[in-house]
Chains A and B, each alone.
Chain A
Amino acid sequence: QQPVQSPQAVILREGEDAVINCSSSKALYSVHWYRQKHGEAPVFLMILLKGGEQKGHEKISASFNEKKQQSSLYLTASQLSYSGTYFCGTENSDYGQNFVFGPGTRLSVLP
């Protein structure tokens, strides 16, 4: 079942902060976050695993509330390069199946 993302879109000025939320109706094993710029493929940002382990490649933070089946992505001091569509993807088991992307949150950072 597809996770729900909020907000659908957000517009920021450079330097402002943003929070993007992802929630599921099923128990989650992992939550992935990706960013996709217009006309390009999605690029990995972060994985959060059940039990609290967190992996990421960029200076972007995230949280994972297992009880609420929710994850939030925190973008602080946004830069123009942060513009794009952010997708969360969820897995409900550690078998690596049933991976589902959310509908996306469009982020626009203005100068």
Chain B
Amino acid sequence: EAEVAQSPRYKITEKSQAVAFWCDPISGHATLYWYRQILGQGPELLVQFQDESVVDDSQLPKDRFSAERLKGVDSTLKIQPAELGDSAMYLCASSLPAGGAYEQYFGPGTRLTVT
């Protein structure tokens, strides 16, 4: 069964350092999402791609976060510089076309700890 891949699974970094996360969606899925989930809360959408285009990044802290999906397949989320408040689980999900009719498949996530 096809799965969404993410790496690394765990990352510990010091504040002010740069960190990057990678996501490979299910083959053929045009829509890719990056979420941040703080323990005890629901996932918060950071950025949504349709193929290689950003369709929603309204909640992305653009002064320190960036995301790209250059060829419309895999994607990278970067934080520079990391802050203590960035400690969270970063989840990637993919779906067939966006539009409310398709479920999102989530990867295992990257647990980030900023010290």
Interface SS majority for chain A: loop
Total interface residues in chain A, CB < 8 Å: 27
Q: CB-nearest residue of chain B relative to A42?
A: B106
Main secondary structure of the interface of B (DSSP, over half): loop
Contact flags B16-41 to A (C-beta < 8 A → 1, else 0): 00000000000000010101000011
A interface residue numbers (CB < 8 A to B): 2, 29-30, 32, 34, 40-44, 47, 49, 55, 57, 87, 91, 94-104
Asked whether A41 lies within 8 Å of B91 as measured between CB atoms, the reply is yes
Rounded to whole angstroms, the CA-CA distance of A2 and B43 in the bound complex is 11
Asked if B103 contacts A97 (CB within 8 A), the reply is no
In the complex, B85 has a CB within 8 A of chain A: no
From A55, A96, A103, A104, give the contact of B98 (CB < 8 A).
Answer: A96
The interface of chain B, by Cβ under 8 A from chain A, is 31, 33, 35, 40-45, 48, 50, 55-56, 58, 91, 97-109
CB distance from B90 to the nearest CB of A (A): 11
A-B contacts besides A97-B48, A98-B56, 15 pairs, CB < 8 Å: A32-B104, A41-B106, A42-B43, A47-B100, A47-B101, A47-B102, A49-B101, A57-B103, A94-B99, A96-B55, A97-B56, A98-B58, A99-B33, A100-B45, A101-B44
